[in-house]
Structure 1
């Protein structure tokens, strides 16, 4: 009896938890729409019955008018596009934009007002409060101006993708209203309901849609076309696996009206194209069981629609659709809908997009890729369509759970498939993406609102990390047990909008394992599995994998004894091996001549906790050994507000001076120790900042003369620099802004050959920004200012190697931060300039007393891309100007000098590489340029050699 009572109590509590304050409003849509394909417009009428199943009295209803997101630059969609680096919509002509207008709401026959809360959200004021259990009928005409394909809704020519196209009530649930703007990155949350949609359009359009087609004549036409198209495709041997430019046939003068009905869906989408080929098949599903409701069901209709583009891949699409539907039915729960459709059309919001019973797919490239994307999008019918989670707030509940089953599908049907790439070999994108961000402290919790995730983290946290976490859970509990728990989740929560707590509770109840806190933390936080236990167990949490496979998919840093492997270039991190890589190196400078060597390093595609590189090179001109070596240690999230801490030590040495008398090359050695704190900012703010402290030791070998015309030996000249720097960036696409500030102390040893060396305390600042005045056309500017707070030779007219310089050539690179083809070399080597200090793009010889100061320097650099760029060559114009303190002799008073130069440019990589031809300047600069001779000798060029060297990794890109 006690056992029965306990069991009964458990069932009562379980059912009460399932029923706790959840309710669903009922929405029934009746829409009539007419397509005007000449004007790319849709003229429609909405009749909507809305029943209030809550316990609250509603005086207003929030409506989504998502086509209006394409109307203006201030919409949330438009702002997100810019945050993610796309200016295509921002600079689009108004004729390509879209909107929804012509609204005239009536509620139960009475006029009703509405008020916009955002570009694409409005509040409909009800004439009287809607009581619990009551319903109202809402009607309005509306017009949709269909935009070009910027995201999901759109058209390309007369191919139409009609998604998120009608006025739609927001969800009202136990947490209140959920009005949300349309976003490209971030999907949706909608009320379940029923739809009857009547479409009128030219007769020769092929339409695929949510729901069941009512007109027998239209269905017979599609079935006949499917039979004809399948036979025609089978007879052809010229089907393309790539893009085919296929013209649109003229629209038929005769119109047709077709009707689709759908039950228990929360969205309705349709696609129309006169060029569609059609394939048809059926799939038998014995029964549907959802929430204890068992319903016999006949064969499911399976449709594929596509154009000549990639027709060679799509000819087997119905097989992929059937297999995917059966796979999810077997492992998650039986498909409850009467049809499934996959079609190919324009899509600018990713590789595919799901809607109830129908999915749209972009181009793929291979049959396996098409199968994978179709499977993923079909799988959304379960997690997006039937469970209906709030994907805007919890994107992993759809994307992550679905991606896990997509991975299992691919592992089942393509077990030998490897994503092989030249040099790097096989790549596991889920693990690569997660490790890449998490090891730098750049990851975010999967349970982060989709519009607060960075673009890269949207993929990693919504898709990849949940897949890894579920894979780890599968290793722990077993595949069948996990499927059983997921089937219970599907059964209990279908059509009920579950939240994260409902998912975790169902997993706990059905797996009967102590999964807390590990499992939930894998989704709700940035925590990861700590696999330091030698027996394959986690330090905190349950044993999640057998000892024979101790490396968790979520393990950041692999440990233990591993086999040594040597590879070429780099590869993905292999947790079972200690990986070393080698790659050949080649270089050149005028002192060493041609340099050849090799690099040995341990850097994988993912950042490592400790990275090192050894890269010796032999200079065939100098006959000496050169190269570089270094190591870096990273600590992700060492403290609150810090993304990662980095400690690095590196050294490099090349020849930098050749004595003309003996043609002997002399070398330098630069060793730097640097500590950095990279601060954490929400990605949506587009801010980046870091604090650094660097100690540099620069040692140069120089000839020792001691009164002799030829060297009698060598001497070492050594300087030390201590630099404290802070930099901050606002990485906006249209008008980026950044600044840097640094304080530097320079010490010196007892130098005999450098009479004008001095200790100094130097303060510098740089402010950079820009404005994108047309798509991919920028006006960029840079302001620089520097002053010596202390300098023992500040009153001297001596030209200090570490003084301020208007021209940033090799001579002014006194810390040896950059790499040059020739230091202390004249001729064309003087034409290589950098972008420090004055940034002056005029190759004036460093032997001339021009543009240097021992006191202060300010400079302005302007660059503008030309609006016309013949053959796509990035031509532009530039202007540099500087003001600096100058003394002709030590006895002269300090005077302010102004110099300027302007000309034409050809630059790339935001000015990090380019060619510059000065054409106008002040008289003194003009004279010095003319002294160089031909126009060719006046050209300057930039190339960031140091930034492109192998030890400068690209971890700051994302």
Structure 2
């Protein structure tokens, strides 16, 4: 029979080699007891392993995945950190899990066993090589300490999610062994086999599991519970729609032992909860035995789960009709704790977290049920080729929601009546930023965002376009051939490409590269008949038209007063190659036209190892001084500035999981400051004078954005060309840079450090006794913002406006008035800024700033070095966008100048990152 099957497949062109296809046979007999007082499993495994490889094996690799929860150094723990999650890293060791108490025997003889570099992978050394066609019996006891719910395996209270829980041999196929550590992002590749699992636990636990329950008494008990649940649901019209803190009943003193069997599955999962309500029905598929349909859920979202059987049956029939008949005797949906996405699939059973709506539950159930085909029955290698399950399944899930929810064109409803197509949005965002990766990339080599785009979104978009090329019926027929030919046989990408025939090359090109474009856009546009120009108030997703957005705006600064105007831009939620923004504002205080405008050109992957090139230009105009004396009102019209800048930045490409980023940039700034002009007699001229200054920058910045200890640095070379029309033209060349680092010492609590240093390499006025705005400065107030890079509530204003400080140079958090030459240097400056969040549940910390700079008090004196420091309390609000600092300690001149300000309220420092709060800046930083 195997030879006949081999010849059929060979003639169909679906195999890589001539005679290298084989599949190992595995049979599991597992007896396990749940100790819900200690949250442990105590089990015994008996494994029958048949070697169908054409050569002997001297060892067997085993997955021991509960050990992934044993420490913060496992691959699972490291990946969580890389993706920004610290919950497991800072968890108390008592809440973690493991698998131990192993004692392997082969053919009833002790056998050597050793762990690999990954503690959740081990190697069983066979006493004698297992020849081709031979079978060996492997046994071992084991204990599982069940962790808190951090991922898939876990517990919440006395609700248990037992997945990836037993010693499990890795796959050995035509390319060799496939040992893989457990990961949160990235699923599995396991050998098909037969399971017989005996579970012993307190008798009032309700169990949902892979396979068929063998004890008729337990089945009758579940059916009675299902009947009771159905009657209870029918009697209530006020069922919960959200979370319910449902208490756990006491565990029964008596235990029960129940048995499940399952054939042709590559995993076994079970869920136990004393609170489960149960629903049951039967599904009759064409040319197949009746299928049991079960739902297990708690009071949480009971109003949604009362319809779960309808969703489960509908999804199973939908996939059966389009891909191939469901071959298993039961399908089950479970509502339980889950810390790895909205839902997770296992053979015959799926677990769902909270869904939020009937549509959300139906969609997730359909998606997870669909995995029975691409994950469960076909059994692709999801760790190396995640798109072969997630992507193919997402395509059919999209068709399911399209059929039963035609009014919903997207997956995410942002506001009632408005939806976002997350697949297209996510793909185009990463693609246009040059940050996408080929979908056919191993799971752990994909960034978190690229995992969702590459595994789910892009394959679905490609298949939608393939559907348009060959027709929906033809595509379904192709997948039916693929399903029939490769069920229970672990197909690889080349096998799918072969079944697709002429279209296989198209799919291969899309999956193995970052090339190709706006999938499905042209067809959608043609179908919708879109075109022309559209105007909107709020940024939207691209819809095929030329989109402009006009948004009314209000503004304020102390120099211009209140401002009113609007923003005109073309920026959608996706980055565009050419973007522009114009924000004209009328200032009621200065009676001037103010605002800013800019444009950006973005080129993706222009050269090898270059992620993208961005060229941008912008102009802004505001007042920077507003006399308060009535006799100077006429000067209001001439105090202002116009800043024009052109920037070019090259972003270098780095492996996505390296968390590195770097760029090289140049920036040219032209600053024109309007100032009143007088005659020699002191008469004010009608035309204001203009001071023109140019700056040319060359800079490099890099970062490693680790969760626990990120680090970043930047280096800048800047040339300043003063106005040649002034009596004292000042030119200088400065080199400065900064190093940033931090350490997350507790979840949500961080220690930060910044080191800044700068030196003038050339300065035509190095020996001046005064230090103008373009000198180095310890205090980054509006007066020292000589390039006008930042946005301030008030420039050249007294009082509280001088308490708004930024962090460009010295970063001192001390509101020293700009009138003082304190902290200014024409030679060099170095500063250290330290911050530490306090270990309390409030956003309060402490800070310390120290700095040293060179100065020349008089023309005749030698250079001196001045050291200062300031320290105090900090309040961090809005995730680093707003800080309030309270200086409490200071030394030297700093202390004297702070004391001169007056009371504590006048010494407070405000750091308001206005530039980073601009909506387009926040959108670009999302990935």
- Per the alignment, residue 511 of structure 1 pairs with none
Work out whether 1:792 is the aligned partner of 2:764: yes
User: CA 1:594/1:463 → structure 2, altered by over 3 Å: closer, same or farther?
Assistant: same
Determine which of 875, 885, 905 is the counterpart of 1:906. 875
Who is 1:434 aligned against?
427
> Is 1:170 aligned to residue 170 of structure 2?
yes
Does 2:919 align with 1:928?
no
Aligned to 1:539: none
| Match runs of 1:240-389 below 5 Å | 240-287=240-287, 297-389=288-380
Separation in 2, partners of 1:342, 1:764: 60
1:446 aligns to 2:439 (yes or no): yes
**Among 694, 700, 704, the residue aligned to 1:730:** 704
Partner of 2:468: 475
| Structure 1 residue aligned with 2:805 | 833
| Closer/same/farther in 2, CA of residues 15 and 395 from structure 1, 3 Å limit | closer
Q: Does 1:79 align with 2:78?
A: yes
Shift of the 194–591 alpha-carbon distance from structure 1 to 2, 3 Å rule, reads same
Q: Superposed, which structure 2 residues align to 1:775-786 within 5 Å?
A: 775-786=747-758
Distance 2:879 2:8 in 1: 68
Partner of 2:3: none
Deviations 1:658-684 (A, max 9, x none): 234413332111111111111111111
Aligned ranges 1:785-934 → 2 under 5 Å: 785-869=757-841, 873-908=842-877, 911-934=880-903
C-alpha separation between the residues in 2 aligned to 1:655 and 1:110?
88
**Residue 379 of structure 1 aligns to a residue in which SS?**
helix
Whether 1:92 aligns to 2:91 is yes
Aligned to 2:650: 677
Structure 1 residue 656 corresponds to structure 2 residue 630: no
2:477 aligns to what? 484
Question: Are 2:691 and 1:717 aligned?
Answer: yes
- CA displacement, residues 876-911 of structure 1 (integer Å, 9 cap, x when unaligned): 000000010011112221111100000000024664
SS in 2 for 1:447: coil
Cα gap change, 1:845/1:15 in structure 2, threshold over 3 Å: closer, same or farther?
A: closer
Question: Residue 751 of structure 1: CA displacement?
Answer: 4.4
Residues of 2 paired with 1:298 and 1:888: CA distance? 96
Aligned to 2:564: 596
SS of 1:461's equivalent in the other structure is: helix
**Aligned-residue offset at 1:549:** 5.8
Q: Deviations over 1:561-584 (max 9, x none)?
A: 931000111100112x11101112
1:131-150 to 2 correspondences below 5 Å: 131-150=131-150
**Using the alignment, how far apart are the partners of 1:595 and 1:12 within structure 2?**
76
Q: Following the alignment from structure 1 to structure 2, what is the Cα–Cα distance between the partners of residues 424 and 785? A: 53
- By how many angstroms is 1:954 displaced? 2.9
Query: 2:742–2:750: 8 Å Cα contact kept in structure 1?
Result: yes
Q: CA deviation at 1:796?
A: 1.7
> What CA distance in whole angstroms lies between the structure 1 residues aligned with 2:10 and 2:749?
65
Shift, 1:809, TM fit: 0.2
| Alignment match, 1:696 | 669
- What is the RMSD computed on CA atoms of the aligned residues? 1.9
Q: CA deviation at 1:948?
A: 2.0
Q: Given that residues 423 and 571 in structure 1 are in contact (C-alpha distance below 8 angstroms), is that contact kept between their aligned partners in structure 2?
A: no
Residue 43 in structure 1 maps to residue 34 in structure 2: no
Using the TM superposition, give the Cα deviation of residue 210 of structure 1 relative to its aligned residue in structure 2, in angstroms. 0.3
Indicate the residue corresponding to 2:161 in structure 1. 161
> In the alignment, is the contact (CA less than 8 A) between 1:597 and 1:615 conserved in 2?
yes
Shift of 1:953: 4.9
Q: Which residue of 1 aligns with 2:745?
A: 773
Checking the alignment, whether the CA contact within 8 Å between 2:881 and 2:916 is kept in structure 1 is no
In the alignment, structure 1 residue 31 sits paired with structure 2 residue 19: no
Q: CA 1:36 to 1:217, structure 2 compared with 1: closer, same or farther past 3 Å?
A: same
In 1: Cα distance, 2:26 partner to 2:778 partner:
70
List per-residue Cα deviations over 1:616-666 (Å, max 9, x = no partner).
011110111100111001011111111111010111111111234413332
- Quickly say closer, same or farther: Cα 1:831–1:757, change in 2 above 3 A: farther
1:220 corresponds to 2:213: no
Q: SS at the partner of 1:656? A: coil
SS at match of 2:632: coil
2:573 to 605, 613, 616: 605
Q: C-alpha separation between the residues in 2 aligned to 1:20 and 1:926?
A: 83
Alpha carbons of structure 1 residues 157 and 530: separation in structure 2 relative to 1, 3 Å: closer
Counterpart residue number, 2:120: 120
Matched with 2:488 is 495
- Structure 1 position 749 matched with structure 2 position 717: no
By how many angstroms is 1:159 displaced?
0.2
Q: Distance in 2 between matches of 1:783 and 1:229?
A: 64
TM-score, length basis structure 1: 0.93
Counterparts of 2:678 and 2:416, CA distance in 1: 51
SS across alignment from 2:281: strand
Q: State the SS of the aligned residue for 1:952.
A: helix
Q: CA offsets, 1:457-489, max 9 Å, x none?
A: 111110000000000000111111000000000
The count of corresponding residues between Structure 1 and Structure 2 is: 912
User: Compared with structure 1, are the counterparts of its residues 95 and 423 closer, same or farther at alpha carbon in structure 2 (3 Å cutoff)?
Assistant: same
Aligned to 1:705: 678
For 1:348, what is the secondary structure of its paired residue? coil
Post-superposition CA distance 1:683-702 (Å, at most 9, x none)? 11110111111111111100
Looking at structure 1, the residues matched to 311 and 531 of structure 2 have their Cα atoms a distance apart, in angstroms, of: 40
**Aligned with 2:625: secondary structure?**
strand
Give 1:957 shift: 3.1
CA drift at 1:13: 5.6
Q: Indicate yes or no: 2:923 matched with 1:949.
A: no
Give the alignment's TM-score, normalised by structure 2: 0.96
Shift of 1:550: 6.8
The answer (yes or no) to whether the contact 1:769–1:782 under 8 Å persists in 2 is yes
The residue number in structure 2 matching 1:638 is 606
Contact 1:423–1:568 (CA under 8 A) maintained in structure 2 = no
CA distance in 1, matches of 2:712, 2:785: 22
Contact 1:670–1:697 (Cα < 8 Å) also in 2? yes
Cα distance change of structure 1 residues 906 and 304 upon mapping to structure 2, 3 Å threshold: same
Distance in 1 separating the partners of 2:666 and 2:143: 60
Distance 1:332 1:689 in 2: 46
Aligned mates of 1:719, 1:890 — CA distance in 2: 26
Q: C-alpha distance in 2, partners of 1:736/1:830?
A: 32
Q: Map of 1:166-245 to 2, 5 A cutoff? A: 166-245=166-245
Report the secondary structure of 2:869's partner residue. Answer: strand
Residues in 2 aligned to 1:172 and 1:216: alpha-carbon distance in whole angstroms: 37
Distance in 1 between the 2:78 and 2:920 partners?
36
Residue 667 (structure 1) aligned to one of 640, 650, 653 = 640
Note the residue ranges of structure 2 that are not aligned, 5 or more in a row. 1-6
Whole-angstrom distance in 1 between the partners of 2:920 and 2:641: 19
Q: Give the whole-Å Cα distance in 1 for the aligned partners of 2:616 and 2:868.
A: 39
Deviations 1:488-527, CA, capped at 9 Å, x for gaps: 000000011001110011011xxxxx43643321111111
The separation in 1 between residues aligned to 2:507 and 2:399, in whole angstroms, is 19
Return the alpha-carbon distance in structure 2 between the equivalents of residues 424 and 651 of structure 1: 37
Task: Return 590-599 or 704-713, whichever deviates more.
Answer: 704-713
Instruction: Return the alpha-carbon distance in structure 2 between the equivalents of residues 444 and 404 of structure 1.
Output: 19
